[in-house]
Amino acid sequence: MIKVPGFLGSGVSSGVKKKGKKDLALIFSEVPAKAAGVFTTNIVKAPPVLVGMDRIKSGYCQAVLINSGVANAFTGKEGLKDSILTSKHAANELGIGESLVIPSSTGVIGGRLPIDKMKRALPKLVKDLREDGLPDVAQGIMTTDAFPKYASTQIKIGNKKGTVVAIGKGAGMIAPNMATMLAYILTDINIGKRALSKALKNSVNNSFNKIIVDGDTSTNDTVLLLANGKLGNTAIGESGAEYKKFESAVTEVATEVAEMIVQDGEGATKVAKIIVKGAKTEKDAEKIARTLGTSLLVKTAFFGEDPNWGRIVAAAGRAGVNFDPNKIDLFFGDQKILSNSKEVMDEKKAQKILQNTKFDITLNIKCGKASSFVIASDITFEYVKINAHYRT
Amino acid sequence: MIKVPGFLGSGVSSGVKKKGKKDLALIFSEVPAKAAGVFTTNIVKAPPVLVGMDRIKSGYCQAVLINSGVANAFTGKEGLKDSILTSKHAANELGIGESLVIPSSTGVIGGRLPIDKMKRALPKLVKDLREDGLPDVAQGIMTTDAFPKYASTQIKIGNKKGTVVAIGKGAGMIAPNMATMLAYILTDINIGKRALSKALKNSVNNSFNKIIVDGDTSTNDTVLLLANGKLGNTAIGESGAEYKKFESAVTEVATEVAEMIVQDGEGATKVAKIIVKGAKTEKDAEKIARTLGTSLLVKTAFFGEDPNWGRIVAAAGRAGVNFDPNKIDLFFGDQKILSNSKEVMDEKKAQKILQNTKFDITLNIKCGKASSFVIASDITFEYVKINAHYRT
């Protein structure tokens, strides 16, 4: 059960998704919450992203209205009007100012929002709001997701226990910067505005920005962090022990949800943490890790549980980072595969590692001391099936 | 039938591939041919590539020895010795200097060359050499290729007819710069050394460097252009009408083989020419075209014959090129899909275009006058099947 004091949630079916599945969700804070947001880097930004980027500037948000099934992306001025109109309807229904509502959309690109259906569903959506309704939010924002995604943690601030909850969705179009990924992190802890932004940025960099399903970046990616201050603690600043604790807690729940997204990667059967060590800079390490995490040949080898290390070194070699190809160490889990580029693999043991659902791949290029990682899924028949016939 | 005066070819089974399939091939020029080469940009270069890069410096080559099944990549100093040794054996058998032999290898990365098998097969390989043996070369260099690949053209130089033939292989690990792709272009036309290099470079840029199957770049990519001068024409220089004719002919056969490689892309069912127009620079246009050609979501939509244009604009938006997302024109074949970013698609007609095996996708971003293109395959169940179980 996830719950954050002062935050209410609900999810209903507005009739966009078939079989009465939930497709409209609402997060509501009893008081305006301090808010920070991170949005897609795609230059094709969906109208709800444009509205969100504008409204977050005030530093406050009290409600998030999320619809799934239609992304309201690439819908031009009309799409922008639609996003503004639906959040206005929600604001009216909630009795709050419309600038305190942030809209999110996920689904097929190109279609217009089902304004009428959403409007008809709003009264029930608001009526259903309750503190234990956050799991319904997680249900309502799913698209190709196989399961709802959320995580929760608590930390002590002074003598009080604060809560941090993350709710997310996403299964395809994941990486390199976020994804068709929506995530909402909610906390009752009181924290300064700049500290809130800093904590969000750092935690997203170490969680959602590290996951790769297919290498595509969506037009709708959004991560919001809302803090309603209900805990009543003195506002946390930008540094110090309490700030660190807070950032760790946000990173923890964000990482949990991020890993769930990879695990639920469209058709995925594997979650591989690809770690690159011994790089001159973190950027170099990340470049190689990302190249491995997006390489179709590497990802299909994971699916086939095939310890085909040649594909890993070949992909590393085209990442655009200089290293000595004669000095590589490579590990699958705790199994050494290459030692100074010489094969030392016990094939059966190596294969056994790849038969797990989760495993680490560690590449040491011995040029320096920097490292980075990505968390990547494999590419499977099911991925192709889902994406060849998503619309039709 | 492909044939070039003065060039002999042969292909035999050395026992590396199963079922007696040809796995060793030889191209032999009766006289040392002027030679130019283009090699993989991957920093992990296979030993045969290192040997080839070194030997091509002399500007001459008389024989190319190609084995398939084992790439002799990532095999360190031993692998380098193996490549040198096998080409020495071939040189001895042919009675020519070993520096005139260029070795090529394609297949699984990491395994050592089957030296003994290759040595045993060499006498027959040399004995079988004949002018109509070039199709056997095309057979002998196949790995996951479904069919052998070659193309031929003739041009008039003065009052004589010169021949240009290209033989290639490749089906996976294709792009962004060449691929696990081997190609040998042979001509009897007499041409200067610098003109030869220029013609190879330009034609590769407009053919092999434009194809994308899976976005992986191999450690073994090699394209060689050999000109034995048998036609007896005055050597063609670096410019003028004859040079242009020559470069066009090389580009023509290279493009034909390049398109065959995409058509034979592992599991591919579609060959899409993705054209980006209206960019500020050719580089910008190419960046977007490459992003579209490698996007898994775009490629699976092609497989599903799904006119899901949203994925195309979303992928274009993350290519790292600035353009106004409200001003895009998009065509599938002759069907206009987007006009100034407004959907004008006739869905049935759009789908009909995608039901063809070959089609064009044209995106106009209206920022300038530069354009570029790539030729890309789709990604299918079969691709995943082939690559999940290639080794095992």
Distances (CA, A) of B333 to B156, B298, B352, B363: 35, 16, 10, 11
Which residues are registered as beta bridge partners of A28? A8, A63
* Closest by Cβ to B297, choosing from A71, A214, A318: A214
- d(C-alpha A112, C-alpha A108), whole Å: 10
Residues 149 to 178 of A: which have CB under 8 A from any B CB? 172-173
Determine contact: B347 vs chain A, CB below 8 A: no
Of B73, B172, B342, the CB nearest to A76: B342
Domains of chain A: 7-263 (3.60.70.12), 271-388 (3.10.20.340)
pLDDT in tens, B202-237: 999 889 888 876 656 677 889 999 999 999 999 999
Which position has the higher pLDDT, A178 or A378?
A: A378
B326 near A CB under 8 A: yes
A296, A303, A322: residue with CB nearest B214: A296
Q: How far apart are CA A318 and CA A101, in angstroms?
A: 45
Tell whether B216 is within 8 A of chain A (Cβ). yes
- Cβ distance B240 to B63 under 8 Å? no
Sequential DSSP letters for A129-161: -BGGGHHHHHHHT-SS-SS-EEEEEEEEETTEE
Q: Which of A217-221, A298-302, B146-150 has the lowest mean pLDDT?
A: A217-221
Provide mean pLDDT across the span A159-182: 74
Instruction: Annotate A175-198 with b (16+ C-beta within 10 A) or e (fewer).
Output: bbbbbbbbbbbbbbbbbeeebbbb
How many Å apart are CA A109 and CA A71, to the nearest integer?
5
Q: Which of residues 81-140 of B touch A (CB under 8 A)?
A: 108-110
Residue B128, number of CB atoms within 10 A of its CB: 15
Q: How confident is the model at residue A215 (pLDDT cuts 50, 70, 90)?
A: low
| Joined tokens for residue A246 | 């807070």
Distance CA B313, CA A108 (A): 12
Q: What angle do CA B273, B278, B283 make, to 5 degrees?
A: 70
Q: Residue A19's pLDDT band (boundaries 50, 70, 90)?
A: confident
**B74–A390: do the CB atoms touch at under 8 Å?**
no
The per-residue pLDDT for range B301-338, each reduced to its tens digit, is 899 998 989 889 988 998 989 999 889 999 999 999 99
Per residue in A309-366, pLDDT (tens digit) is 988 998 899 898 999 988 999 999 999 999 999 999 999 999 999 999 999 999 999 9
The pLDDT of residue A162: 95
Residue to test with chain A: of B72, B74, B112, B299, most A Cβ within 10 A: B74
Q: Considering only alpha carbons, which residue of chain B is nearest residue A312?
A: B109
C-alpha span between B118 and B125 (Å, rounded): 10
Q: Is the pLDDT of residue A176 over 50?
A: no
Q: Which residues of A are catalytic?
A: 180
Beta-carbon contacts of residue B90 (< 8 Å; ≥ 6 apart): B26, B63, B65, B101, B122, B125, B126
| DSSP SS3 for A44 | coil
Tell me chain B's radius of gyration from C-alpha atoms: 22
pLDDT in tens, B332-372: 999 999 999 999 999 999 999 999 999 999 999 999 999 99
Model confidence at B96, in pLDDT bands (50, 70, 90)?
Answer: very high
pLDDT of residue B180: 67
Stretch (H or E) spanning B387: helix B381-388
Share of residues in chain B with pLDDT > 70 (%)? 95
**Would you say A282 and A367 are in contact if contact means Cβ atoms under 8 Å apart?**
no
pLDDT tens string B266-288 = 788 999 999 999 999 999 999 99
As a residue count, chain A comes to 392
Q: Is the separation of the CB atoms in A174 and A213 below 8 Å?
A: yes
* Nearest of B1, B101, B96, B93 to residue B48 by alpha carbon: B101
Q: Rg for chain A (alpha carbons), in Å?
A: 22
Residue B175 has pLDDT above 50, yes or no: no
Q: What pLDDT is attached to residue A234?
A: 95
The predicted structure's pLDDT at residue B214? 63
Q: Is the dihedral of CA A39, A218, A143, A304 positive or negative?
A: negative
Q: Which residue in B has a C-alpha nearest to residue A326's C-alpha? A: B76
pLDDT at position B373 over 70:
yes
Residue B183: helix, strand or coil by DSSP? strand
pLDDT, residue A175, reads 42
Across the interface, do B216 and A306 touch by the CB < 8 Å criterion? no
H or E segment to which residue A377 belongs = strand A370-377
Residue B167, pLDDT > 70, answer yes
| Cis amide linkage into residue B5, ω under 30° from 0 | no
Q: Do A387 and B76 touch (CB under 8 A)?
A: no
DSSP helix/strand/coil, A230: coil
Which pLDDT belongs to residue B173? 53
Q: So what's the pLDDT on residue B392?
A: 41
| Residue B195 near residue B157, CB atoms below 8 Å | no
Question: What is residue A292's predicted lDDT score, i.e. its pLDDT?
Answer: 94
Is the confidence at residue A178, as pLDDT, over 50?
Answer: no
Cα B336 from Cα B373, distance rounded (Å): 18
Residue B188 in contact with partner chain A when CB distance is under 8 A: no
pTM: 0.78
Q: Which of A173, A317, A343 has the CB atom closest to B42's CB atom?
A: A317
Which range (A202-211, A333-342, B75-84, B278-287) has the least confidence? Answer: A202-211
Pairing of strands A211-212, A182-187: unpaired
- pLDDT averaged over every residue in chain B: 91
| A174 has pLDDT over 80 | no
B384 touches chain A (CB under 8 A): yes
Query: What is the percentage of chain A residues whose pLDDT exceeds 90?
Result: 70
B180 is catalytic: yes
Position A163 scores a pLDDT of 96
Among residues B143, B163, B180, B219, the one annotated as catalytic is B180
B217, A343: Cβ pair inside 8 Å?
no
Q: Inter-chain contact A387–B216, Cβ cutoff 8 Å?
A: no
* A296/B387 touch (CB, cutoff 8 Å), yes or no: yes
pLDDT greater than 70 at residue A278: yes
DSSP code at position B291: H
What confidence tens digit (pLDDT) does each residue in A65-94 have? 999 988 898 888 999 999 999 999 999 999
